Structure 1
Amino acid sequence: MSAGPKTWPKLHHTLLPALLSSIADQYPSLSYARFPRDPDDISKGYRRFTFAEVANAVNAFAWWIDQNVGKLGEEQKNGSQTLVYMGPTDIRYAVFCLGSVVAGYKMLFPSPRYGSEALGKLIETVDAKVLLSPETPCPAEADIIEKKKGVVTKLQAPSVDQLFAERVAVYPFTKTFETCKDEPMICLHTSGTTGFPKPILWTHNWIASQSQTLNLPLPASFTHHDYHIRYQKDRRGRLLVTGPPFHASGIFNMVLYPLLLGTKPIYSQLGATPEEAVDRAISALEALHTERVAASGSATEVSQKVVDCVSVVPTCIEYMAKHPEKLDQIVQRSHSLRYGGGSVSRTSGDTISDKIHLVCGIGSTEQGIWPNILRTDDDMKCDGRWEYMTPHPALNLQFRPVSEDAGQTMYEAVMVRNNGEDWDGYVQPLFRCFPDLKEKSMGDLFIRSQRATDLWKHHGRIDDLLVFLSNEKFFPAIAEQRITSHPGITEALIVGTRRPKAALIVRLEEGFKLDDVWGKIEEVNVDSPLYARVTKDMVIVAQEPFLKTAKGSIRKADMLRKYSKELDKLYNEGI
C-alpha cells in the first residue's frame, strides 16, 4: 500500500467525514497533522497523527456524544443542535468538528479571547445547550455557565489521550451529499472587529463550493498563489501554523486544507504578542530540525528547510522586519512565509520578500479563502510585487471605483454570483451563505497596480473609514502601516470618527518614548490631509497590547470603548 496518493483527490461532493474515512482506508499511515508533545515544552518534540488515527478518533467522539450528550434519531441528525467547545490548540478541534457531524450535531468554536458577555450572546443566538469543557477551561467559561445556569449544561470533554487510546467500532454514517447538502457542517462567527461576533453557518454545500474554489483550473501561464502548502510528492505541503484553531482560518488549517489539499499542518505554541509568536515559531522549527537530524543522522542542506511555509499574522511580519536575526532563523527553516487578516507596510514587506517568498492571503468567513493566482514568471521581489494579488477569474470580482486617496483611485471589491454554468457549474461559497443575493460587497478596498491591470493591492476595509465632524473622510490603514514600520512602534490605531480631528493610540517598543518616534509620525502627517494629521497632544501611549480578533486584526470598537475616557479627555482639552 502506497504511503500517499500521486495527486490529491478532488471529491467536491463527498462529505468531509466520508472523505477522511476514504483517505484513511487507502493511506492509513499518511500524516494528518503534528502537535507539540508537551504544549509547555517544545523541546520534547512533536506527536504525529495519521489519517487512520484521526478517523478512529472521529468515530470515538461520535460514540462519546451518543453516550454523554444524547443519541439522536436518524431524522434528527441534521446539524440543528450545537455543541460548544473552547480549548487548547490540539487535534481535538478537527476530531470534534468531524465527529459532531457524524453524530448528527455541529460544533461552535468561539474565540475565548472575547469576554463572557460577547460569548454568552453568541451561545444564546445559536441556542446551544451543551458546553464541552477542556482540562483547563478558559477564564470566561465559569461566568458563562453561571449566567446560563439551567440553560447550558457543562460536560467534561474527552481528552486527546482518551480519543486516541484504542481502536473503536466505526460509527454508522450513511448520509450522502445530495440528501444533506443544505444542512450545517459547522457554526463559525464573524471576527467581531466592529461589535459582537455573529454566527455564520457553513453547510455541506458551502464546503463543496470551497473545495471547488481551492481546486479551480488554472489559466495558462499561472500557478496557485499558495502552491507551497499543496500536496505534492516532492513538496509535502508542510505548513507551520502559528495561529489559533477556533476561527475560520483555524478550521481551514486543521480541517479543510488537510482534507481538500493534502496540507500537513504543524502547530507551534501560541504567542500572546508578535515577539512571542515569532520566538515560538522559531523554537518549533528548531525542534522539527532536531527531529529531522536525529532521524537522518546527518544535518545536510536537505534537512535545513523543515517546512514549506510558515503562516503568521501581519504584526509578526512587521516584527520580523525589525528583527533581522529572527527573520534569518525563519528563512533558514522555511521555503515561504504567508500572512493574512490585514495589511503589511511596504518597508517591512520589502525587507521580508528580499529574503524569502512572501505570500499575501485574503479571505472572509462567508467566502473562505480567495483563490489568488500568480504568473509563473512573476518576480515577487520586484518593486513591491509581493503586496499585489490577482484573484482567479472564476471568483467573478468586480473592482468598482469609490473615491480618491492621496491621488490614487480606490476600488471596492464586489463579488457577482456566477451563473452556475461556467467553470463546471462553480458558484462561489459566499452565495451559499447568501443564496438570495446576486452580488455582494466584500467590504475590502483595493488600489490597482500601474504595471498590470489584474494586480490589486489591499488598501483596508470600508468600515475602516473615518468620518470626521466636518464630514471629511480618511482611510487610515496605510498611515497606520507606515507608523508601525518604525522600529520603536509596535502597534498604532488612528481614530476620529464623529470627532473634529484625528487622534492616535500607539504602543511603543520597550525602551522607546514618544519623542523617539515622533519624527516618523510627522513624516506620515506630511502625506495626510490636514484634518487627518495627528498632533503631539492627540496621542495616547498604550501600556498594554491592543485588543485583537482571532485573526490578529485590531478590535476597533473595543479599543474605542477601552480608551473612551482618555480620548474624551484629549478632545476636550484639544478643542
Structure 2
Amino acid sequence: GNRLMPVMVDEVAAETPDRVCFSIPRSTDLKAGFHDITFQTFANAINKTASFIEREIGRSSMFETVMYMGIQDVRYFIVLFALMKTGHKVLFSSHRNSVAGHTDLVKQTDCGIIMYTNGLSCAGIIEASRMETLCMPELDYLFDDSVHTDPYPYTKTFEQAKHHPCMVTHTTNSTGMPKPVIWTHWLLATTDAQRLVPDFDGRPTVWNKVFDSSERCYSGVPICDSAGIVTALVEVLLNGCTVVLGPPNNPTANTFEQVVTYGRVDAASLLPRTLEEIASSQTGLALLSRLKYVAYAAGSLSPRAGEILSRYTHLYSLMVSTETGSIIQHATDREDWQYMCINPKYNGIEWRPRGSLYELVFKKSNDLADVQGIFKTSLRSQECSMGDLYSKHPTKPHHWKHEGRTDD
C-alpha cells in the first residue's frame, strides 16, 4: 500500500523485462491479431517520452498541469508516467466533453500546455484556451527498442511523493460542466493497500484473488476516463495481468467478440451499455462463457441483461468513482451479480436509513487512512456521502444492491 506506480514499472522492467503488460491491436482489422508490449518496451517508451517532454518544455518543480488529448491507445499510460517523472501532472478530459467543458477544466487547473496525438483534432480547445502545444511521439518510435533510451528514473520515496498531485480527472456537476478531481500518489495507491485486507466470511477481496486469476483481461472502458486508466493500471501492476486494449472507438458487442476471438482474453472490464448489447447476441454470449469473470460499474445494468449474462460468466458489480477510487468489496456468488459484498470493518461506512433503503456514508478514520480513498480527495471532510441509495440482500449479510440516488 505504499508503492509508487512509476517506480513499480521500472522495477518490473529491470527484474522481468519480458513480462507482457499491454497487448494492442496490430491494425484496425482485429483479425490481424494483437501485439504484446513487454515491460522493458513500456518503460523505455515512458523514458523516451519524459526526455522528449523535458527537451521541449523543461521539468516542473510545481506540478504544472499538462492536458493530454489523444487517440485512445496505450500512450495514455505512457504520458501519465512520463509527466510524473518530469514533475508535471497530467489532465485527462473525457472525449465526451464539449469544447466549453474542456476549456473550463483548463482554466480551473491553470493549464497552459496541451499534448495531443496526430489524428485527433484539438483545434477548438487550442483556439479557445491559447495553450502551448506539443505533439506526442508516434507509437512506432516509442516501441522501437533499437532506439537507445537513457534511464529516466523517478527518484522520490513514497513518503516524499505521497501528497504530490500526479493526475487530474473529473466528475460532471449538476450544470453539466466538469469538476476537476486531483489524484495524488497516495490516492493511486489505495487499491494496493486494499489488497492487504483479509478474506471476509471466506470471501477474498475482488482486488486480489478474483482479479489475480486473469492472465489477459480486455479493458473495454474508455481510457480517457479515470475508471479506464486506474482499473487497467491495477490489473497490470497489482494483479500481474496483461491488459488487452481494443481499437480506440467506443466498444460494441462486435468489438468484444473480435477481441475475445483474436486477443486470447480470459476476463473483461466492460461498460454496462456493451453488456446490454452482448446479452442480445448469441455469438457474444457463447464467447462470454470462455471468460473467468466480467467486471462492470455498479448499478447500471438492466435486470434482464444481468440475468442472461450471469448464466454464461461470473459478473462482478464494482463501486468505483473519480472521488473515491475503489472501495473494499469481496467476491460475491454468481447469482448475486446485482450485489456488492461491502466490507463492514475496513471501509469506514455508516448505512443511514432512508425509508426502506440505506444511504452509504463514509466516516473518516485515522486507522483506515490508507484504504479510504474518499478522504484523500476530500481532505477536510469528516464524513462524505456519495448520494447513493442501497437495499439489503434478503438473506446474505453485508450484500448491498444499488437502487438509485438521494436526489432522484
Residue of structure 1 in register with 2:254 after alignment: 279
The correspondence for 1:48, drawn from 12, 30, 36, is 36
Aligned-pair CA distance for 1:245: 0.6
- The answer to whether the 8 A contact 1:230-1:262 is kept is no
Q: In the alignment, is residue 124 of structure 1 matched against residue 93 of structure 2?
A: no
SS at match of 1:198: strand
Measure the CA separation in 1 of the matches of 2:118 and 2:365.
Answer: 46
Aligned-pair CA distance for 1:83: 0.9
Q: In the alignment, is residue 63 of structure 1 matched against residue 51 of structure 2?
A: yes
Measure the CA separation in 2 of the matches of 1:189 and 1:340.
Answer: 17
Measure the CA separation in 1 of the matches of 2:211 and 2:232.
Answer: 14
Structure-to-structure mapping, 1:472-487, within 5 angstroms: none
Residue of structure 2 in register with 1:311 after alignment: 269
Partner AA of 2:256 in structure 1: A
- The answer to whether the 8 A contact 2:163-2:184 is kept is yes
Residue of structure 2 in register with 1:351 after alignment: 308
- The answer to whether the 8 A contact 2:214-2:267 is kept is no
- The answer to whether the 8 A contact 1:337-1:357 is kept is yes
Measure the CA separation in 2 of the matches of 1:106 and 1:229.
Answer: 32
- The answer to whether the 8 A contact 2:190-2:370 is kept is yes
Partner AA of 1:163 in structure 2: L
Bigger relative contact order, structure 1 or 2 (CA pairs below 8 A, ≥6 apart)? 2
Aligned-pair CA distance for 1:54: 1.1
Q: CA distance change for structure 1 residues 271 and 130 in 2, over 3 Å: closer, same or farther?
A: closer
Residue of structure 2 in register with 1:519 after alignment: none
Aligned-pair CA distance for 1:435: 1.7
Aligned alpha-carbon RMSD (Å): 2.0
Deviant stretches of 4+, over 4 Å = 191-194, 226-229
Q: CA distance change for structure 1 residues 62 and 187 in 2, over 3 Å: closer, same or farther?
A: same
The correspondence for 2:134, drawn from 155, 179, 190, is 155
Aligned-pair CA distance for 1:453: 3.0
SS at match of 2:308: helix
- The answer to whether the 8 A contact 2:72-2:222 is kept is yes
The correspondence for 1:389, drawn from 340, 343, 346, is 340
Q: CA distance change for structure 1 residues 108 and 172 in 2, over 3 Å: closer, same or farther?
A: same
Residue of structure 2 in register with 1:88 after alignment: 71
Measure the CA separation in 2 of the matches of 1:251 and 1:323.
Answer: 28
Aligned-pair CA distance for 1:271: 4.8
Q: In the alignment, is residue 430 of structure 1 matched against residue 381 of structure 2?
A: no
| Of 426-435 and 316-325, the range deviating more from structure 2 | 316-325
Structure-to-structure mapping, 1:449-460, within 5 angstroms: 449-460=393-404
SS at match of 1:322: coil
Residue of structure 1 in register with 2:3 after alignment: 14
Aligned-pair CA distance for 1:458: 0.6
Measure the CA separation in 2 of the matches of 1:222 and 1:243.
Answer: 26
Measure the CA separation in 1 of the matches of 2:120 and 2:301.
Answer: 34
Residue of structure 2 in register with 1:104 after alignment: 87
Residue of structure 1 in register with 2:320 after alignment: 363
Q: CA distance change for structure 1 residues 246 and 215 in 2, over 3 Å: closer, same or farther?
A: farther
Measure the CA separation in 1 of the matches of 2:159 and 2:208.
Answer: 31
Measure the CA separation in 1 of the matches of 2:292 and 2:338.
Answer: 18
Q: In the alignment, is residue 398 of structure 1 matched against residue 386 of structure 2?
A: no
So what's the TM-score if we normalise by structure 1?
0.67
Aligned-pair CA distance for 1:351: 1.2
Measure the CA separation in 1 of the matches of 2:174 and 2:149.
Answer: 42
Partner AA of 1:346 in structure 2: P
Q: CA distance change for structure 1 residues 357 and 172 in 2, over 3 Å: closer, same or farther?
A: closer
Aligned-pair CA distance for 1:164: 2.2
SS at match of 1:395: coil
- The answer to whether the 8 A contact 1:36-1:46 is kept is yes
Aligned-pair CA distance for 1:323: 2.8
Identity of aligned residues (%): 28
Provide, for residues 31-86 of structure 1, a one-character-per-residue CA deviation record: whole Å limited to 9, x for no partner: 11111111x221221111111111111111111111112234xxx1x42x011111
Residue of structure 1 in register with 2:359 after alignment: 412
Structure whose alpha-carbon radius of gyration is higher: 1
Measure the CA separation in 1 of the matches of 2:141 and 2:196.
Answer: 36
- The answer to whether the 8 A contact 1:388-1:455 is kept is yes
So what's the TM-score if we normalise by structure 2?
0.93
- The answer to whether the 8 A contact 1:82-1:128 is kept is yes
Q: In the alignment, is residue 218 of structure 1 matched against residue 170 of structure 2?
A: no
Q: CA distance change for structure 1 residues 221 and 33 in 2, over 3 Å: closer, same or farther?
A: same
Structure-to-structure mapping, 1:176-215, within 5 angstroms: 176-191=157-172, 195-215=176-196
Measure the CA separation in 2 of the matches of 1:208 and 1:338.
Answer: 20
Measure the CA separation in 2 of the matches of 1:457 and 1:416.
Answer: 20
- The answer to whether the 8 A contact 2:210-2:331 is kept is no
Provide, for residues 550-573 of structure 1, a one-character-per-residue CA deviation record: whole Å limited to 9, x for no partner: xxxxxxxxxxxxxxxxxxxxxxxx
SS at match of 2:189: helix
Q: CA distance change for structure 1 residues 282 and 204 in 2, over 3 Å: closer, same or farther?
A: same
Measure the CA separation in 1 of the matches of 2:175 and 2:253.
Answer: 27
SS at match of 2:323: coil
